[in-house]
C-alpha cells in the first residue's frame, strides 16, 4: 500500500486572496531578502489576525534553523504557519510545523512510518520561485552542516494543508534564478517518472510537468512579462512537486544533493546539469520508463535511440537557458577550481551513495559507478558504461 496526497491548492492570478478567508494567529517563515523586497508584504496584507515573521532562513537550511523557528513558534503559539519563499523557506516551514507539534521528534529520524501527533496547526506554503515544488511534496531537505551533506525526510504530516500558487509571487525572478529553479522542477518530473515507486497517480503529473517545462521555461526565463509562460512554469513546478511526493526523487538528486552539500551551488543547477548523465546511465535499468516518457515528449524513436534523443532534448534546453551541460562549466561560474572537485570527489561519492534518494532507484549504482558519473558529468563526457 502507498499514498498519494496533496494540499488544497489555490492557483492562478489573485489566488493570494484565499488568505482573506482565514482568521487566527499566523507565523510566517521566510528569509530577510524577501522581507526587504516587499514580497512578504504581498502576503501580510491579506491576513486577518496577529502575525509574526521568522526571517532567519538561509540557502541550504540546516537543522539548527528549524530548531530556531520552533522556539519562535512555541512562544507565539500560531494557528497557521505560512512558508513564503523558495524551497529553503518552505522546507523550514514544514520542519517547524512537524517539530512544533512533536517536540521530542528528531527531524533526522523522520520516515514515512514514524508515529507523529497532529495538533491542529495548519500549514500554508506560498512559493516565490518555480522549482522546488516543496509546496506540493511531503518531503523536507535540510543540511547537516558538520557532515556537509543534505538529508531528505519524508512523512505524510509534512504535507501542507494549503498551497497558494500565484504567479504574482514569481513575476520578478531574475533570469538565472528562473533557470535553475525550472531545472529543479524538470529533474523532479523526470526522476519521479523513472522511480521504483512510480505509480499511476503521479505519472500523469510528471508528463504534464515535463511538457510545460520544455515548452515554456525558455520563454519564462527570457521575458518575465510573458504572463502565460511564467504561470505555466509556476504550475509545472507544483505538479512535479506533487509527483515526487508520491514517486519520490531519484538519481539526479542523489548527485545534486551531494554537489550542493559540498560546493553550495544552486540545487537546480546541480540536479539539472546532472540529468543528461543520470538519464543515459540509469536508462539501462529503466529503459521502458524513459522510452515512455520520451514518447510523451514527442520522440518517436525506440530503445537506445530514444534515450539519446531525450538526452539531446535536455541538453538543448540547458543551452537555451545559457546553462553549461557539464559541472566544470557551472563550477567555473561559482569560482570552484578543478582541483577542489577532485580533492572532494570521495566526499561526493560517499554523500550520493548514502543519500535517501537511492532507496527509490530500480537499481543502486556502485561506488565505482557514482565516481564515474561525477567525473563524466564534470568533464562533459558521454556516458559509455
| 3-class secondary structure, 83 | strand
DSSP percent split of the chain into helix, strand, coil, nearest 5? 60, 10, 30
**pLDDT at site 114:** 82
Q: Show Cβ contacts of residue 255 under 8 Å, excluding neighbours closer than 6 positions.
A: 270, 271, 274, 277, 278, 348, 352, 370, 373, 374, 377
Query: So what's the pLDDT on residue 318?
Result: 98
Res. 212 pLDDT band, cuts 50 70 90: very high
pLDDT-derived band at 50 (thresholds 50, 70, 90) equals very high
Q: What is the DSSP letter of 21?
A: G
Q: What confidence score (pLDDT) does residue 153 get?
A: 82
Q: What is the pLDDT of residue 152?
A: 80
31: left (phi over 0), alpha (psi -120 to 50) or beta: beta
Q: Return d(Cα 67, Cα 99) in angstroms, integer.
A: 8
How confident is the model over 286-312, as a mean pLDDT? 98
Q: Helix axis angle, 251-263 relative to 367-379, nearest 10°?
A: 70
Residue 136: what pLDDT? Answer: 96
Please, what is the average pLDDT of the chain?
95
Q: What is the pLDDT of residues 220-238, one digit of tens each?
A: 999 999 999 999 999 999 9
Average the pLDDT over 121-138 and give the result: 96
**pTM of the predicted protein model:** 0.94
- Cβ contact 382:288 at 8 Å: no
Chain centroid offset of residue 136 CA: 10
Is 80 exceeded by the pLDDT of residue 326? yes
Over residues 121-149, the mean pLDDT reads 92
* Number of neighbours of residue 84 by Cβ within 10 angstroms: 28
- Catalogue all structural domains in the chain, each as residue range(s) with its CATH number: 8-170 (3.40.50.1970), 175-379 (1.20.1090.10)
pLDDT band of residue 340 (cuts 50, 70, 90) is very high
* Burial of residue 93 (number of CB atoms within 10 Å: 0-12, 13-18, 19+): buried
Write out pLDDT tens, residues 97-122: 999 999 988 877 787 788 888 899 99
Distance between CA atoms of residues 285 and 361, nearest Å: 9
Query: Cα 49 from chain centroid?
Result: 31
For residue 337, the tally of other CB atoms under 10 A from its CB is: 10
Q: What's the whole-number mean pLDDT along residues 253-259?
A: 97
Q: What is the pLDDT of residue 157?
A: 87
> Model confidence at 147, in pLDDT bands (50, 70, 90)?
confident
Amino acid at each position: 500500500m502507498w499514498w498519494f496526497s496533496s494540499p488544497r491548492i489555490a492557483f492562478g492570478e489573485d489566488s493570494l486572496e484565499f488568505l482573506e478567508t482565514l482568521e487566527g494567529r499566523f507565523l510566517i517563515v521566510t528569509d530577510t531578502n524577501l522581507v526587504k523586497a516587499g514580497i512578504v508584504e504581498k502576503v501580510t496584507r491579506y491576513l486577518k489576525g496577529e502575525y509574526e515573521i521568522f526571517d532567519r532562513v538561509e540557502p541550504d537550511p540546516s537543522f539548527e534553523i528549524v530548531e530556531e523557528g520552533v522556539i519562535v513558534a512555541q512562544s507565539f503559539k500560531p494557528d497557521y504557519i505560512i512558508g513564503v519563499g523558495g524551497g529553503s523557506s518552505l522546507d523550514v516551514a514544514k520542519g517547524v510545523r512537524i517539530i512544533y507539534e512533536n517536540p521530542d521528534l528528531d527531524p533526522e529520524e523522520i520516515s514515512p512510518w514514524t508515529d507523529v501527533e497532529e495538533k491542529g496547526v495548519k500549514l500554508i506554503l506560498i512559493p516565490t520561485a518555480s522549482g522546488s515544488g516543496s509546496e506540493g511534496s511531503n518531503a523536507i531537505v535540510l543540511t547537516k552542516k558538520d557532515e556537509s551533506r543534505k538529508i531528505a525526510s519524508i512523512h505524510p504530516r509534512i504535507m501542507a494543508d494549503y498551497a497558494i500558487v500565484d504567479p504574482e509571487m514569481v513575476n520578478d525572478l531574475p533570469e538565472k534564478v528562473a533557470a535553475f529553479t525550472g531545472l529543479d522542477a524538470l529533474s523532479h518530473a523526470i526522476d519521479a517518472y523513472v522511480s521504483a515507486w512510480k505509480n499511476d497517480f503521479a505519472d500523469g503529473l510528471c508528463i504534464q510537468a515535463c511538457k510545460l517545462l520544455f515548452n515554456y521555461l525558455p520563454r519564462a526565463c527570457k521575458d518575465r512579462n510573458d504572463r502565460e509562460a511564467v504561470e505555466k512554469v509556476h504550475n509545472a513546478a507544483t505538479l512535479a512537486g506533487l509527483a515526487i511526493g508520491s514517486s519520490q526523487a531519484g538519481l539526479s538528486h542523489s548527485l545534486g544533493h551531494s554537489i550542493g552539500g559540498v560546493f553550495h551551488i544552486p540545487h537546480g543547477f546541480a540536479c539539472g546539469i546532472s540529468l543528461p548523465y543520470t538519464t543515459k546511465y540509469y536508462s539501462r535499468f529503466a529503459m521502458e520508463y524513459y522510452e515512455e516518457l520520451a514518447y510523451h515528449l514527442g520522440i518517436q524513436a525506440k530503445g537506445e535511440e530514444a534515450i539519446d534523443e531525450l538526452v539531446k532534448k535536455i541538453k538543448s534546453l540547458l543551452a537555451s537557458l545559457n546553462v553549461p551541460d557539464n559541472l566544470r562549466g557551472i563550477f567555473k561560474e561559482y569560482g570552484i577550481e578543478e582541483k577542489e572537485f577532485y580533492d572532494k570527489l570521495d566526499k561526493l561519492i560517499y554523500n550520493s551513495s548514502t543519500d535517501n534518494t537511492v532507496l527509490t532507484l530500480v537499481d543502486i549504482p556502485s561506488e565505482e559507478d557514482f565516481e564515474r558519473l561525477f567525473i563524466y558529468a564534470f568533464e562533459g563526457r558521454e556516458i559509455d558504461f
